[in-house]
Structure 1
Amino acid sequence: MVDRRQVLMLTLAGAVAPAVVHPALAQTASPAGMSRITAYGFSFPALNGNDIRLADYAGRPILVVNTASLCGYTPQYTGLQQLWTEFQNQGLMVIGVPSNDFGSQEPGDVADIDRTAHQQYSVTFPITAKAIVRGAGAHPFYRWAATERPKDLPAWNFHKYLVGRDGHVADVFATAIEPTDTRVKTAIGRALAAS
């Protein structure tokens, strides 16, 4: 008998098939013998127009954070950059996903987002093009993450999903948890140590 979550995952996998990059990287076997899509099956258009393919980081932990330029939490860009600087050589990838979903706090265009992330906060980790992160129109990665952690959906800007080496959501951190918080660093350390 197939449980409801597996049916939802298969339906979602079919709905986001264009975002799947490589089947070998995008799926893992589930206990029931069915395949489950992983984060490595998704890509985002980059702020600069190229694609950020999560498959390029297969086997590495990835911290995916929805960002906004006009939010009270925008200074978290500094903490995200600190994480990137501290852990990138150990294998961590950090990806910022600008979104206007919460309080319309990312209303600008590419130049505005670039100015905030790169000039004001000196961010060097990848930033995607603006994306929707909640609801039916959400980017396929966020729809997938909602099936992985349905009780941990983004409720505001700077919601953090930590994807483990296996391509599944390993941990989730709410907006108010600073990127440099011990809980975040501990979870990253665990994800990096996992084989």
Structure 2
Amino acid sequence: MLERWSDDKTNDLVVNLSAVSLTPTPPAAAPPLARPLQTSSSFLETQSSTTKRGYIRVDGIPSTQTAYIHRRPDSTGAFSTTVQAQDRALVEIVAGAPPYRISLLNVKGRAWLALKWKLVPSIEKGNKRRAGLVPLDESGEFHCKSTPPGWAGPHRSIIWSIALDGTIQAWWDEGVTSLLEVVYRQRDHFVMFASDPDAYVNKYPEWTRARLAFEPAS
């Protein structure tokens, strides 16, 4: 049974995944990606240090260069990707049982990595709604330059886990827990999350399936 509780600071809904028996995520493959298997095993639980720093790599995309999450959000407040090493977002994760937060270390004025829905969230299979990858400040607030905001739905930051193969997973709870998965658009190097990525890319063929992976800093 899943246990759920609210984070006092940000009202994030936290889901205890330690009681869920799930199978490991398979290694990344070239696009199109197969739907990853859900897992509650954490990459960080196998590490000796209490924290890990690194970068968020975008795998499975049609690019000859390795892409990473950019350290600067765009005008809508969401992250795109970069192939420039100096522009990668540096993140830190405290080891322990998931779900947990991912700290942003070199994103000016921002503290936490989060997902924020375009409008109303939906985790039902077959829907085409999406959530952006966004930064929050220390108080858990979202900021953007565009008016009206490009991302107007709810957001949460205590949603992350990392599988044993390094896959970064986002878990959203709306009465039941769902694994949201990554889609990528080559035209503007943009990444988003969808609860049914197959339905999303079937409707919007300019998008492809992708995967986020934690790459430890050397």
Q: What is the TM-score when the length of structure 2 is the normalising length?
A: 0.26
Q: What is the TM-score when the length of structure 1 is the normalising length?
A: 0.28
Q: Counting helix residues as a fraction of each chain, which structure ranks higher?
A: 1
